[in-house]
Structure 1
């Protein structure tokens, strides 16, 4: 099996990092081919259509930058603004045309360096924040997390242009392993948080709100949770206790807490077992329990959840622990490549409550969509859609074909006649963003759907019907052949196919998929004429994959 690539470019000599990075990736069982661009070629790699970054379609690109390396050594910041601007422009253009996750790690300048100043560092994330597939990371966060205080190596920098100590390079290697890990696992979505002795010190049932401790470790936890909320994690209250007491704390001291009640989209505060409350939250949010991370101070509660719901990530933050450190070292909470859908997820869940109220009593999908003003837009995908396509295929387990993961997308799109499709959903309560995707292959007069996935938030809204109908319409075919594999968790997708399709016999194309057959894949034929959907807008333009479809 060919290993994916990690391609690295830096504004300084980073050779000591390479063997450490290879070892770190082997340690987490994610071996990659680690390649390095020539010294000082970061902007060139971002700008070149034939460079190592551009050729890496199945792994991760990493850029290491010291802003001080972009000065001319004269007055503070000389020539730096132009170089920083060129870097930002190249990064944005590269991400818009490529789907490979790219992490840009800002590394510390040497003490006393004539760099462009802290303002330039502070502005970088804002200037690149909303670019899909691009992450801007401050290496200082990793040095702090791993207790690396001896960062700079003046002697190495002078002799060989190697600016950091072995300890610092080791911390960078672990941090980059976390970046790779985040692209390979099924990410968590919800952080379920206990209240007493987790969000604040004291029990709200025994003490008045003004007597609770909101500072110290509790303040640090709330700051980190607010950061995770801004990254797109959904926060939910999930604790044993009196719900009225919890609500009173938020009502009287919410403005002091960084996290206010509105940041939590759901709540289960009662005396039931926490595992039952998580299962109830999962049902409300239409997610699996393995999408949850639990943060709780009670070891008994943590053990009960771990035993009953082994898919839940349990983080114990009792009095003997350092809760901020527990959170910083939880790889399950890493989210480097947040998409626009991630950042709007909390708003979407809050709007869902209004949708449920408006939809109450709707007899069928058509009446539901009429009440909500549903609009589905289906179009061929552009390269900038690839991070979201990969995310949907990696995360979705209920309405998914089970035939491909996010890492398989580059190989699928390399096929002759391949196309990727996306569907967006909006209604009068808001915009869900991109909620569904499919990758197809044109085989003579037939179109095969090699894989598909749809967010559970879009189920029962006619999105899958719109997606398949639009693909068939654009391709000019009366039916689609859909590849499907049961995973034990994608029952909703199987139910859709059983309703709208019929089993198909293998074709010459499918006869070559011996490995697929061994995995229990099946073929279904979906007739386009049988699909009914809400009003849809079909974008017929091929937006970036060369029009390889029909």
Structure 2
């Protein structure tokens, strides 16, 4: 079995890390090959077309950065940032940079100089395919306080203790896990004894406890909101009491009511509330994480909806630590679509109001001012395409995941496509993608596709497939599809626009689940399209 690669490079000697990382990956049942670049070759890995990083097309790159190894030179920091941005623009491999602590220098100050870590953060923020992690967060989460090994640093330039390297290995394993697991999208938070202390139905808002670990929980959720998680409320409570807290204690909460795109505040079981939220947000319940203090509520949701991740933060726990240790809440590679997702869901409410009564897609799009832009994808689009393949479970061919994308694109004449959607209420960003190759039968073969369910019934899939077909030799497509039991919307779309045959039986195909649809362009309804279609 071929294993994906984790390529590691550092500005210091990191020899203790690879064996620890292999063990961590084996422990989480995500075995990868781990290869290390030569000592001090991090920047060279970013620049070399034949280095470990450039050759790694199916795994993760991890760069460990200690700015002291650059002697605090702003020029060397800026050169690293430029090399990292250039690498990300040319390669689609997810790459994480771990900012490791400099050696302690008591009494050393650099007045008027921007700290090197701040320059790194500013330079690498929001670069597609790159993530920057502060190792101090991992050390705090795992209680590793003694990180420096001055003796080993003097002898072999190995700056950290074995314990610190073990924490770095676990942290990188979490990054790998986050790219393999189906990502969660929605955090559903309880109110009483979770966001604040006390029952808002029994106390005035001014008497509730908003400090201590409650403030840390809210700060954590705000950070997750900014990373792109959708926040929702689910509280067995009186709705007016909850709204009073958000109104009267707004300045103390950090999380306002506007940070939550939806709420279910009633006396129904939490499992019913989550099902209702899933229906409103057009997501499967496996996209949800519940954060609640009540062990009985947690047990009820876990029993009724085992696909939901349940995080108990009640008495006897350390809620901030519990949240920091929850791998289901990891998100390292945020895209532009992630960071605007909450605004998009809020805009959806306005869209539903404006589109009420529209009897077909054309009328709905006319009312909303819909425009779809379809283009060939470039390297900068690959992280988002990988997200769509990994996260979509309803409108998807289910024939490929994010890990399969590099291999698909290495096929002769393979082309990745993206579709963007915008209307008068906002820009959805890249909301659909497909990978196609020319077939021996004179038609274009769509190897995989995925579209966010937020774009259902807006003509996006029709526009995407039309552009792919018009770029090929004939006005018809051959679309691969695999039934999963959950991708019914995609199956219904293909049945409506094409005709199906069983897929040719192969090693990885099942005639009971795998189909190939012939989809002629003439059966795809036109949609307002702009952009650089070839």
TM-score (norm 2): 0.97
Q: Distance in 2 between matches of 1:91 and 1:540?
A: 30
Match of 2:474 in 1: 477
Residues 1:115 and 1:152: Cα distance change in structure 2 (over 3 Å): farther
**Counterpart pick for 2:454 among 453, 457, 462:** 457
Match of 1:49 in 2: 49
Map residues 44-443 of structure 1 onto 2, 5 A cutoff: 44-71=44-71, 77=72, 80-112=73-105, 119-443=115-439
- Residue 123 of structure 1 and its aligned partner are, at CA, apart by 3.3
Q: Distance in 2 between matches of 1:518 and 1:155?
A: 63
Per-residue CA deviation, residues 175-206 of structure 1 (Å, 9 max, x unaligned), is: 00000000000100000000000000000000
Match of 1:5 in 2: 5
**CA contact 1:470–1:538 (8 Å) conserved in 2:** no
Match of 1:539 in 2: 532
Q: Distance in 2 between matches of 1:143 and 1:528?
A: 55
**CA contact 1:374–1:425 (8 Å) conserved in 2:** yes
- Residue 504 of structure 1 and its aligned partner are, at CA, apart by 3.5
Q: Distance in 1 between matches of 2:502 and 2:310?
A: 45
Residues 1:195 and 1:118: Cα distance change in structure 2 (over 3 Å): farther
Residues 1:500 and 1:106: Cα distance change in structure 2 (over 3 Å): same
Q: Distance in 1 between matches of 2:340 and 2:26?
A: 35
SS state at 1:38 partner:
coil
- Residue 517 of structure 1 and its aligned partner are, at CA, apart by 3.5
Per-residue CA deviation, residues 336-362 of structure 1 (Å, 9 max, x unaligned), is: 000100000000001111111110111
Match of 1:29 in 2: 29
Per-residue CA deviation, residues 430-458 of structure 1 (Å, 9 max, x unaligned), is: 00000001111112422100110000111
**CA contact 1:423–1:434 (8 Å) conserved in 2:** yes
Q: Distance in 2 between matches of 1:496 and 1:519?
A: 19
- Residue 518 of structure 1 and its aligned partner are, at CA, apart by 6.0
SS state at 2:201 partner:
coil
TM-score (norm 1): 0.95
**CA contact 1:275–1:305 (8 Å) conserved in 2:** yes
Q: Distance in 2 between matches of 1:118 and 1:276?
A: 51
- Can you give the 5+ residue segments of structure 1 that lack an aligned partner in the other structure? 72-76, 542-550
- Residue 475 of structure 1 and its aligned partner are, at CA, apart by 1.6
- Residue 520 of structure 1 and its aligned partner are, at CA, apart by 2.9
Residues 1:505 and 1:273: Cα distance change in structure 2 (over 3 Å): closer
Q: Distance in 2 between matches of 1:250 and 1:531?
A: 47
- Can you give the 5+ residue segments of structure 2 that lack an aligned partner in the other structure? none
Cα RMSD, aligned residues only: 1.3
- Residue 59 of structure 1 and its aligned partner are, at CA, apart by 0.1
Establish whether residue 448 from structure 1 lines up as the match of residue 460 from structure 2: no
- Residue 319 of structure 1 and its aligned partner are, at CA, apart by 1.6
**Counterpart pick for 1:524 among 513, 517, 522:** 517
Match of 1:503 in 2: 500
Q: How many residues align?
A: 530
Q: Distance in 2 between matches of 1:487 and 1:319?
A: 40
- Residue 478 of structure 1 and its aligned partner are, at CA, apart by 1.2
Per-residue CA deviation, residues 273-294 of structure 1 (Å, 9 max, x unaligned), is: 0000000000000001110000
Q: Distance in 2 between matches of 1:314 and 1:105?
A: 29
Residues 1:187 and 1:126: Cα distance change in structure 2 (over 3 Å): same
Residues 1:519 and 1:111: Cα distance change in structure 2 (over 3 Å): farther
Q: Distance in 2 between matches of 1:255 and 1:284?
A: 29
Q: Distance in 1 between matches of 2:187 and 2:269?
A: 17
SS state at 2:481 partner:
strand
